[in-house]
Structure 1
């Protein structure tokens, strides 16, 4: 039986990342699907449809439909997808748009458009989930800096918790940079983060600044954005590879939550890829030792932080693709554990996944790895967000635009939530090696 994922793309950024994601997923399955047969690996992300009806497994591929809902309060990003090469993946039951946008205002997206489109969104979700035999997770792709992705995106997250409480809620949230051109992005990010803390099961935060640093060598700004979105798409395809392809040690998304989130609400997972790029000639000689050496270096992190030097690691998942043997992983893992600061009660807290099918960007059967770590150094990201938020909020700048749709106290609640996150992670960071009477966080 398939283990389906329904992807929900919200806002301009969510839909742009989604285009790269679906392009990469199609390319992966085209490369590894034999004889044009629709198999269980494809059913994770796709349906096989003919004359409006789903075909059973093991039939020839007729018309693929993505398991997705596309939402934006402007028409452009969704229209670009529907009118482009991916248009046939979607039908009218899968998208929802407006024309005026959310004005870079979290409250506009959350309170106004949330209430206005609640029933329409639930209907789109119902249509998507009715085609699933064993729905495992919702994937939300959105940004934190604008109005639709941050506001309506987190409103949808709360709807999912209310109407599908047993289905895991994963979000990939793109955090704005310090010089973001949306002046109110600190407000939007802080308000959205509060909702992610309350309603998500797992959050993979990715910073625009970190992404841009990875692709800054490209000359074209447009190509740089494509490259940034492709990195995020690689994270998503890597994360789900064990659900879609054969491997000697497969990992489901529910295992990610079970193994990497030891405390409720402390569910933010740092992501890093190795190799980050396959364009270097030296990539042809990559070895497993290279992956272990690079995976926690600053240049491989998709958040601007250093897990090797700051904070404590609560748990970590290492998801390998390609020709990787568990015996080789274990030998390198022993060395890695000695280099990282692990919480004392979880010194063996590594979840290993092995997928035989290599990443799309990797030549031949070369290995690659995605690391997802629940790490205390995430407080650096939360602290930067808080400082940018306070620069505006202390002057009450632009607050009146938000109080048209919400109470001002929601700013204070969001700020308090962020301070709580920082404090709880810092409690864990400060735990000493001695096992005597440690003060653990209370939940």
Structure 2
């Protein structure tokens, strides 16, 4: 859907405030890196993005696709061989090699912004480049732009991941996320696949009939529902794209309760390290670009707190909330929002010192093809099982010292990096354990002062 919207705007020749958040309008007559031109005209739309991958074939595939003209060829960082599924190669080797080039391109992108609000990093945790070089860029952003918020969307590998070293890469990356990110939105490949599979089951059952759009990711070129591919990466990536569209809607459109991105960090992160936010989207069909009758508004709120709509394998409704944000799009009134919060509050467990820990945003512009949608972001202890499972997978390898030599031969990499990383993850899990221990307990949480230190 995100791709279709951009292509439509390109065809119309429209450049407005909504597009200017993610794109800049460039006068290509000066060689491709000319100044931004006035709104309402279009010469060349260029994404405010830096594409980094140490396997150049991945970026080349994008540059050969329908959005090839949207990405600035001067804002690419690629290599040939990849990082070999090795965090140390991505972080230590390629990080040092491409540091100056990345900093230069980051500064160039920042200088073209009228009001730089935050950086988004989208990366995977299981491979070498995403985990290693991705978290290296995160630390660079803190060094070069310390006052600018850093939002990270991290895609965690599934338990059946075919990369044997993914537990090492993920735990090493977790330490960097703990230390350098302002907000992390963890997403699991398995949850993304389950959502795509659910959408496929509905569309292939015939219940939606002609409601499936011909240009949808779930339809073939002939307009029929596709057979779910073994690895439906396009559809899974589309879910992450729609997450970011909803997250940034208030920054791009008008609304009665617009929410800046820095307000999310301010209101949802009470302690620096506990900045992992569980996300859910509703309706799910928005993700597949499917026209279906709109869900009743109250049902949409209920769905946002159900396990089936989470982008992480978690159940926040039965865990402890530190805070929660509801970002709505469409024709929704403040009274509807308040009524549903009051309806849901009795079934949700909030930490005793933040019983009213709700942050809300209302954007008047709905997603394409729908009357309204809802993104829920929860700072909730339900992320703990994901971290515990990751720790267990790490320890199975680390106890045998399996595959360590691949990491230790990289300059600057020492075995202490592993012990520090697992210690950082263990401390994070323990902080969530202490919070869970207060659930339904005394009004004063003994963990509060310890975590705040």
Q: Give the structure-2-normalised TM-score.
A: 0.88
- The 3-state SS of whatever aligns with 1:195 is helix
Q: Which residue of 2 aligns with 1:7?
A: none
**Aligned counterpart, 2:404:** 399
Worse-superposed segment, 429-438 or 137-146: 429-438
Q: Does 1:140 pair with 2:121? A: yes
Alignment match, 1:41:
18
Superposed displacement of residue 47, structure 1: 0.6
Q: Any residues of structure 2 matched to 1:303-342 within 5 Å, and which?
A: 303-309=312-318, 311-342=319-350
Alpha-carbon distance, 1:55 to partner: 3.5
In structure 2, what is the Cα distance between the partners aligned to 1:377 and 1:253? 23
Q: Deviations over 1:151-197 (max 9, x none)?
A: 00000100110111011111101000001010100000000011011
Is the contact between residue 173 and residue 203 of structure 1 (CA under 8 Å) also seen in structure 2?
Answer: yes
In 2: Cα distance, 1:246 partner to 1:30 partner: 22
1:129 correspondence with 2:106: no
Of the three residues 283, 294, 311, the one matched with 1:302 is 311
Q: What is the CA–CA distance in structure 1 between the aligned matches of 2:237 and 2:445, rounded to whole Å? A: 46
Aligned position for 1:110: 91
Q: Secondary structure at the match of 2:66?
A: coil
The Cα shift of 1:229 comes to 0.9
Q: Residue 435 in 1 paired to residue 449 in 2?
A: no
Shift of 1:54: 2.6
Partner in structure 1 of residue 161 of structure 2: 180
2:237 is matched with which residue?
Answer: 229
- Determine which of 403, 421, 426 is the counterpart of 1:419: 426
Describe the shift of the 1:30–1:273 C-alpha distance in structure 2 as closer, same or farther (beyond 3 A).
farther
Distance 2:317 2:155 in 1: 23
- 5+ long unaligned stretches in structure 2: 201-226
Looking at structure 2, the residues matched to 199 and 437 of structure 1 have their Cα atoms a distance apart, in angstroms, of: 26
After superposition, residues 21-420 of structure 1 pair within 5 angstroms as 23=3, 26=6, 36-50=13-27, 51-52=29-30, 53-216=34-197, 218=200, 219-221=227-229, 224-278=232-286, 283-309=292-318, 311-360=319-368, 362-363=369-370, 366-405=371-410, 406-420=413-427
Query: For the Cα contact (< 8 Å) 2:9–2:15, is it kept in 1?
Result: no
Q: Kindly state the Cα deviation for residue 433 of structure 1 after the two structures are TM-superposed.
A: 4.2
Change (3 A) 1:341 1:180: same
CA contact (8 A) 2:88 2:128 kept: yes
- Provide the rounded CA distance (Å) in 1 between the counterparts of 2:23 and 2:313: 34
Separation in structure 2 between the aligned mates of residue 346 and residue 186 of structure 1, nearest angstrom: 34
Q: How many residues align?
A: 416
Task: Tell me the CA shift for residue 56 of structure 1.
Answer: 4.2
CA RMSD for the aligned pairs?
A: 2.0
Q: Displacement, 1:216?
A: 2.4
- SS of equivalent to 1:211: helix
**Cα distance in 1 between the residues matched to 2:269 and 2:172:** 22
SS in 1 for 2:50: strand
User: Which stretches in structure 1 are left out of the alignment for 5+ residues?
Assistant: 1-19
